[in-house]
Each structure stands twice: as structure tokens, then as C-alpha cells.
């Protein structure tokens, strides 16, 4: 009986111990669980904070990149304006040279005519007022009388014409001097504007350099691509401006020599352009403002354009048909592009066309509506679209007034 009681007591002790251990274990597990939950919440909080910081950094970087892009656009605008001023200064200087040469020639001509007139006046004075009457009265017959009469008339007309010529030459000299003075004032004004633009450009470039230093490597590469694009654009514009200036000079030379003019300068309303993508219209342009962003010198035709043919908006001559590539072979800037000279004072540029799709070459004559390539996305481009520009004097203008 005692053994049974003892056994029961031991059993009860074991059960109590087990229960006590279990409760402690449960309590311990509960404590660990709470601790783990707390740590998990802290980890989640830190992750969220880190993600928030990353987002903020991305947003700040994105804002910085936008500022850099804005400055690149400003730099492009200033460089274009400076290039235009360079062209204007060169034109004015050429005008001054031409006008000066004309003035010198006219003054020499005046000296010669003035000398001749002076000699005639002296001769008339020395001959006295009766000379013409003596010639008539001294005629030996009616034939001689008529001959002397016409001779006197011709001499009088010659003297009158000489006096009028001298008078007109003097007026011409005065007008030429005024033109020369105006040209010199325009030259000084253009040079002052050029210096102001150069100073503003220097400030913007310094600002951009400071901001670029804070970009990440990927964005620095993007900025480098943008800078290269602007360099390519400036080089293209400079070359086209030279072509336009030479063509204008030939036109003026032809007009002044009595020949026919090579073209009549086109205005937007009389341009006679068709739409540059076959089968499409203005409805296929997403952003119809100009410029759609700072530094953008054309219009992007980008709705339902994939696989569409690019056509010449007007007949003309192909000035450029090139693929701009980096040293590693990748496309840059306009990528596959074409420039057509319409010989009406305007040129058109078609950029980012599909790789290998260009169907025309430099120097080729094209007709209105002729296919010159296919819409693509080569160069500095994201997604298929046609970058279309209208250039006057080699420099881009708002293309919308020229489009039907």
C-alpha cells in the first residue's frame, strides 16, 4: 500500500515537473516569438526607410538629370544663336567689303566724270556764247547747216547727260556711304550680342558641369550622348548654313547679272509641302507644341508609325544621306537621316529612320512623295518615330506652319 502511495506521489511530482517545464517552455517560446516579431517589425521598418531613401535618391537624381537636360537644351539654343550671329557677322562683313569696293569704284568714276565735265565747262567758257551761232552762220550750205545743227545738239545733250550722270553718281555715293554706316552699326550690334551670348553660355556650361558631377554613371553616359547629339546637330547646321549661303550668293549674282533667279524664297503658306510620313497626318503627332521641350528643333511624328514610309515633302536635291555612328558601331544622334534641299530657301531633315532603310544618296534629285526611308528608332531615340525638321538658311524653324 505504501509502495502504491509512493508511486502515485512520484508520478504526481513528475507530472508537475513536466507541466512546470512546459509552461516555462511555452513562456520562453512566447517571449522569443515576441522578440522575433519585434525584430521583424524593426527590419521591415528599416527596409521601408531604406526603400524610401532609395526612392528619394532616384527622384533627386531624376530631377538633377532633368536639370542637366534643360541646361543641355539651353546650351544648344545659345550655340545656335551664336552660330547664327557668326553667319550674320560674316554676311555683314562681306557686305561692308563689297560696299566699300563699290564706293571706291564709284568715287573714281566720279573723279573721272567730274574732270571731264570741268574740262567741258572750261572749253565752253573760253569759246564764249557765240561759238555755236558762228558754227551755224558759217555753214556753206543747207546740208552743212543741218550737220552743224545736229552736232551742236549732240554736244549739248552730251553735256547735259554728263552733268546728270555726275549728279546721280554723287547721290549714289551718299546712299552707299549711308548703307556702309548702317552695316557697320549692325556689325557692332551683332558683335555685342555675340559677346553677351558667349558670356551667358559660359555661365550655363559651368552650372551644367557642377550638376553633372552629381549624376550616376548611367546618367553621365546619357548626358555624354546628349552632348554628342548637340555637337552633331551644330556641325550639320553649320554645313547646311554654308550651303544655303552659297546658294543665296549664286542667286543674287545671277539676279544682278540679269539672269533668272535660282529660287523664290518660300514662305510657310506657300511651301507646298506634303506630310513626311505616307498615309499619315498631323493627327499622328502626339505633341503639337514647338518646341516640345527645350533644345528640340523639330517635330516627332510618333503615332501608328511603325513600318511606315518616309517621303520627301517636296522635290529637291539630297544634301545628306548618312548614318551617324559611334566608334563601336552603335547609332548616335539622328541615326539614319536624310537632308533635302528644296531650292526655295528651305531644307528638310528626316531623322531616326530604320537601320539600312535609306533609299536615296547625296546629290540625288528626288521628287515630291518619293520614298526616302522607313520610320525607325536609330540614334538618340526611344521608340519608333520620325524626327522632322524644316531649316531656313541652314537653321531650324517651327515646322508646323509648313505642314499641311
| Residue 12 pLDDT | 59
Q: Which of the four pLDDT bands, split at 50, 70 and 90, describes residue 235? A: confident
How do residues 394-403 score in pLDDT, each as one tens digit?
Answer: 889 999 999 9
Taken in order of first residue, the domains within the chain and their CATH numbers are 267-402 (2.70.70.10)
Instruction: Name all contacts of 232-237 with Cβ < 8 Å and 24+ positions apart.
Output: 232/324, 232/332, 232/333, 232/334, 233/76, 233/297, 233/333, 233/334, 234/76, 234/79, 234/80, 234/83, 236/320, 236/334, 236/339, 236/349, 237/80, 237/83, 237/391, 237/394, 237/395, 237/396
Question: 148 pLDDT exceeds 80?
Answer: no
| Residue 161 pLDDT | 66
Number of CB atoms found within 10 A of residue 196's CB: 11
Mean pLDDT for the stretch of residues 220-236: 82
Round to whole Å and give the CA distance between 373 and 339: 12
Query: Which is more confident, 358 or 215?
Result: 358
How do residues 180-203 score in pLDDT, each as one tens digit?
Answer: 788 788 778 878 888 887 888 788
Round to whole Å and give the CA distance between 350 and 372: 9
Query: Which is more confident, 315 or 203?
Result: 315
Round to whole Å and give the CA distance between 349 and 297: 10
Record the pTM.
Answer: 0.59
| Residue 117 pLDDT | 59
Question: 274 pLDDT exceeds 90?
Answer: yes
| Residue 42 pLDDT | 57
Mean pLDDT for the stretch of residues 267-274: 82
Mean pLDDT for the stretch of residues 148-165: 59
Question: 128 pLDDT exceeds 60?
Answer: no
Full DSSP string of 305-374: -TTPEEE-SS-EEEEEEEEEE-TTS-EEEEEEEEEEE-SSSEEEEEEEEPTT-----TT-EE-TT-EEEE
Mean pLDDT for the stretch of residues 307-317: 96
Round to whole Å and give the CA distance between 385 and 371: 16
Round to whole Å and give the CA distance between 403 and 346: 13
According to DSSP, the residues that pair with 373 across neighbouring strands are 310
| Residue 252 pLDDT | 74
Round to whole Å and give the CA distance between 223 and 226: 5
Query: Which is more confident, 10 or 301?
Result: 301
- The CA dihedral of 359, 360, 361, 362, to the nearest 10 degrees, is -150
| Residue 139 pLDDT | 53
Round to whole Å and give the CA distance between 189 and 375: 43
Distances (CA, A) of 66 to 175, 212, 294, 298: 53, 11, 11, 20
| Residue 225 pLDDT | 82
Amino acid at each position: 500500500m505504501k509502495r502504491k502511495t509512493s508511486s502515485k506521489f512520484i508520478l504526481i511530482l513528475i507530472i508537475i515537473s513536466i507541466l512546470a517545464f512546459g509552461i516555462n517552455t511555452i513562456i520562453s517560446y512566447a517571449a522569443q516569438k515576441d522578440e522575433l516579431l519585434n525584430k521583424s517589425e524593426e527590419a521591415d521598418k528599416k527596409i521601408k526607410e531604406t526603400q524610401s531613401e532609395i526612392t528619394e535618391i532616384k527622384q533627386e537624381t531624376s530631377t538633377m538629370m532633368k536639370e542637366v537636360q534643360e541646361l543641355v537644351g539651353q546650351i544648344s539654343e545659345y550655340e545656335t544663336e551664336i552660330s547664327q550671329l557668326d553667319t550674320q557677322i560674316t554676311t555683314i562683313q562681306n557686305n561692308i567689303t563689297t560696299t566699300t569696293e563699290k564706293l571706291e569704284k564709284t568715287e573714281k568714276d566720279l573723279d573721272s566724270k567730274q574732270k571731264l565735265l570741268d574740262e567741258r565747262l572750261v572749253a565752253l567758257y573760253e569759246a564764249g556764247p557765240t561759238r555755236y551761232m558762228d558754227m551755224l552762220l558759217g555753214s556753206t550750205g543747207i546740208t552743212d547747216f543741218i550737220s552743224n545743227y545736229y552736232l551742236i545738239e549732240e554736244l549739248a545733250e552730251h553735256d547735259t547727260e554728263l552733268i546728270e550722270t555726275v549728279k546721280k553718281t554723287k547721290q549714289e555715293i551718299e546712299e552707299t556711304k549711308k548703307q556702309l554706316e548702317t552695316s557697320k552699326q549692325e556689325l557692332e550690334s551683332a558683335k555685342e550680342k555675340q559677346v553677351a551670348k558667349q558670356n551667358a553660355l559660359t555661365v550655363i556650361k559651368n552650372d551644367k558641369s557642377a550638376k553633372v558631377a552629381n549624376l550616376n554613371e548611367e546618367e553621365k553616359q546619357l548626358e555624354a550622348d546628349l552632348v554628342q547629339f548637340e555637337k552633331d546637330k551644330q556641325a550639320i547646321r553649320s554645313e547646311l548654313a554654308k550651303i544655303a549661303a552659297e546658294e543665296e550668293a549664286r542667286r543674287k549674282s545671277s539676279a544682278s547679272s540679269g539672269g533668272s533667279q535660282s529660287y523664290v524664297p518660300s514662305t510657310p503658306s506657300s511651301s507646298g509641302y506634303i506630310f513626311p510620313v505616307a498615309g499619315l497626318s498631323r493627327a499622328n503627332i502626339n505633341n503639337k507644341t514647338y518646341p516640345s521641350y527645350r533644345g528640340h528643333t523639330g517635330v516627332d511624328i510618333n503615332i501608328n508609325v511603325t513600318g511606315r514610309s518616309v517621303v520627301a515633302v517636296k522635290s529637291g536635291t539630297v544634301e545628306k544621306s548618312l548614318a551617324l555612328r559611334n566608334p563601336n558601331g552603335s547609332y548616335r544622334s539622328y541615326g539614319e537621316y536624310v537632308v533635302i534641299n528644296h531650292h526655295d530657301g528651305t531644307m528638310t531633315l528626316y531623322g531616326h529612320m530604320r537601320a539600312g532603310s535609306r533609299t536615296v544618296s547625296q546629290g540625288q534629285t528626288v521628287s515630291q512623295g518619293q520614298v526616302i526611308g522607313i520610320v525607325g528608332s536609330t540614334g538618340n531615340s526611344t521608340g519608333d518615330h520620325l524626327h522632322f525638321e524644316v531649316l531656313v538658311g541652314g537653321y531650324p524653324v517651327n515646322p508646323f506652319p509648313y505642314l499641311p
